[in-house]
Structure 1
């Protein structure tokens, strides 16, 4: 059964179907007497060149009603996917901040005071004073950085982050090389070394018996030496039980934040 236009209100999330795709947008059927035109500028949180990048013909999805009347006061609904995605993105980054997670994001540009990164379709800022790297900010464009969220202000569109690497912080990286003395982990723009004795409490023959190149690894920062450009890591400190890195590394990664929090508490005491 069709609903009247007057039954919809700004802020409502409705289910609709794309019934036609045009160069400048799409016609959406939300059960109203007439289809609603969705302009391409409101189709995605990301920049797109054609409607097909965001919607397929006959695809059904959620839309946010953003306006009920046009500028002349006539009853005319306006829809947005972009603003719906933005609201969800802000919710996700607020949750990440609350959980104090370390996330990975790519530097997409520079600005006067630092660099810009892309997170969940949003743009975040890192001040130069919060960058733990000897590289010039222009050299960081395209690099993935481990980051912490400092401030989330949806109303000002402000997302502030830090790339200050700290002891006790959990980072995610890829094994880039394996040596007899340990494994090098790519965590962004700084070299990180997971030394042989810091892999597990249990005895292991060589790092090769635990890792291979391109393995994804969660580890905790043990030491930061920016003058030498070297970060020391540990997975041993994250083991719930001695030897878990050898028997069940996934368990170690799932408990990583919890174990790192215990480590930080012990250090503070």
Structure 2
């Protein structure tokens, strides 16, 4: 054989040689028992595409996807030694598809894309976006920590592109960023519809020791534990349940911080609403002394309702210090002198139920003394006392 012929044969052999990274096309000649597609190549050799290199679907059965005679395009990822005669190359259709997808990207960093979750791993979610494999770190899955990422497997999610590096086939996305953006838009929409003082219906979304979060249509407002009921509530879960429909009154709106303060008890009749009806002036009641002050004593006459017996209304006898006559826990009979539901004040008298002495001592010919006036001016605001409370019949 001449030197020219040898060079020609060497060139032909070189042209036909398949290298790692080459894209090859061949026909399916068999689907073996290992769930692999055997591909006949133009060189007369064979390559094999395992199921894991055909698709990200771990449960795929190649016999359902391919049949003998089908054409498959794949990339050579390795030379292999096989017991099967003629099988010389490990091929991957999945990696070729990914390469083409990277070459034809039509999104950029900052874009929001649709992603398919193919797997959940310890560090986050493995997804595909238009054929490109990407990753959502666990810290970027949601606004709050997610303990079980498996709940997202095989689901479609929206995520924001955080980083793209085709050279490293690196695609990082954030679902949390999309949620935050949608939440901000929802807040603006909801705040535009609400106003302070308005009563609206909501759904109990979450319960905490300090209160309940109420869903107002995509945005949560907080009912503090003190605003759940007029009765004392130790644990919100004792009186509310998740998913329950409730009416709430809007107490405050802070769009900048996205906070809405709500009240359930403000939508309900308060204990003071019935006081004027059930205990008008002149009514005689029995109550319990709760607190004793220098200016008088507070007596609970209904659950959560306290009235003031001013020092001047304790007895016809002069009382210098209410603590000399009354103590916390004492049961006493009182007469209602005055009721002011709007101010949540009620004035009581023990003296009115006693027989008036024939010669009751009075200062300044029956008029209120300066000492009484000074006592009134210096009294604690919590007394809720009126001039009538202090001076009684002296006025």
Bin for the TM-score computed over the shorter chain: 0.3 to 0.5
The alignment's TM-score, normalised by the length of structure 2, stands at 0.34
The alignment's TM-score, normalised by the length of structure 1, stands at 0.48
Higher relative contact order (CA 8 A, sep 6+): 1
